[in-house]
Amino acid sequence: MTLSHPLLARLAPLVLLLVATAARSPELPEAVEAAVRALRRASDTEFPGLVGELVAAEKAAGITLRQQLADPKSRASALAVIGRADAKEAQRLREVLGHEPADALRTRELAAPYLERHLQKPVDDELERSFVRFERSFGKAARTLLRKFPAADPEEREQREELERSWNMAREAVLATVFDYRIYSDRDRGASGQPQVDRVVEALRAEHALLLEVVDAELMRFDRASSSSLEKQLRRVEWMQGLWRSAADKLRGRRGFSPEPLDEVTLATMRMLRALLLQDAGRPADAREALEGGDDFARSLLRIRRARMFEEYNDDYDVGKREQLSISEREIVRLVNEYRVALDADPLEIDGQLLEAARAHSSDMDEKAYFSHEAPDPERRTHRHRIAAAGYTNATVAETIYLGSGYEDAAVVFDGWYRSSSHHRVLISPRYRQIGLGRARSYYTANLGGGWKLPRRESREEALDAASR
């Protein structure tokens, strides 16, 4: 039989080892030495498998040798094996075992010095050399990745952490204030609590602007790097990391073994790059999972990257469509989303059915000169009737309306809703993921819904659970 494949040829001693174990061959240590030589010649690809084989071979040799010492019929073979490596040790065992009954516990104790010197130490030495060799290759791959996308220095990381902390505190203050019905009551449409809301929102906008400046600079750096080149090198490092971890279970506690050869900064950079690449591939839920245990700044990179995707979708929504969005309709949606992103809520995507229902209601109010959520037509009385009539099937819906002079800009309409407690809470609620904004002269209607078309950062189950609350 001929072993033509190089890896099979290197594994041949290990196959012989298993046969020898079954036959209680006295040549077991020589088989382990052959396995050591195979590991010495191994490539990175073969590293984890051969490590496992070597450790298994070492264990099998030790077990078989102790069994042989405990069995009077095979003791001579075991002592011959030991004698080839250590004549004094063999003589000592011969004398001891000639006078004492050799039970399993006693032979384990007697064999320990020989196994440690002549079996475990050579194996440990070779494993340690293999660790160093593999870590060198692993480290080179990681350094190549970091040359393509250098990690932030300690001062930059500290600055980012401080910006994140300040923004998070401001965000939490806004949410705590807006959703506190004692402060921001619907009884007076929030007028009494509006000054306090304005203060915390102003602080939020300031903190988010500072954070956004740093986030945008980092995303520009990511865009300047070739995504295909980053992907290729990141895959290589992740592949080597997988090889290392696949061998790790066999190596815990071994001399020279490091459970994780990459430092935390490199690992954090890898998580961030993988998450951004997944986000760009339209897999935001996987991107979020890739960042588990990552830092807050990386999550902000992902948050803003995702927001840009929604912006592009909304900007291109009416391309090639007969019905075009007006400048004010588009701008109001942008202002709502800008505020939502600052609060870490996903932006709203424009939906055609919600848009149809919103425009129809604004036109109806304009033509019949009324301003109300309730329409005169019984079949289109409520916003739920109107939205369903447009073909929208998700049951989580809401509506906000505004009556202006016809000459106001989008910021005035947004501010009108922002200064009404109930409308304010609707606009920033995570229950809603889509919007349709319709204007008819001085009448404005925004219909919001819980459905979605674009990929979301949460799983479908999480999204449905949020919509039901």
Dig out the tokens for 38 from the structure: 């195979």
Dig out the tokens for 251 from the structure: 């190596």
Dig out the tokens for 49 from the structure: 């498998």
Instruction: Give residue 102's pLDDT.
Output: 64
- The yes-or-no verdict on residue 2 having pLDDT over 50 is no
Confidence of residue 70 (pLDDT cuts 50, 70, 90): confident
Compare 190 and 454 and report the one with higher pLDDT.
Answer: 190
- The yes-or-no verdict on residue 190 having pLDDT over 80 is yes
What is the pTM assigned to this prediction?
Answer: 0.75
- The yes-or-no verdict on residue 12 having pLDDT over 80 is no
Summarised one tens digit per residue, pLDDT across range 35-58 is 777 777 766 667 777 777 778 777
Dig out the tokens for 14 from the structure: 């290990």
The DSSP bridge pattern shows strands 349-350 and 434-440 to be parallel
Confidence of residue 16 (pLDDT cuts 50, 70, 90): very low
Gap between the Cα atoms of 127 and 49, Å rounded: 13
Give me the mean pLDDT over the 59-80 stretch. 82
Burial 438-466 (b: 16+ CB within 10 A, else e): bbbebbbbbbbbbbbebebbeeeeebeeb
Give me the mean pLDDT over the 365-382 stretch. 95
196: exposed, middle or buried (Cβ count in 10 Å: 0-12, 13-18, 19+): middle
Nearest to 335 by CA among 360, 370, 311: 311
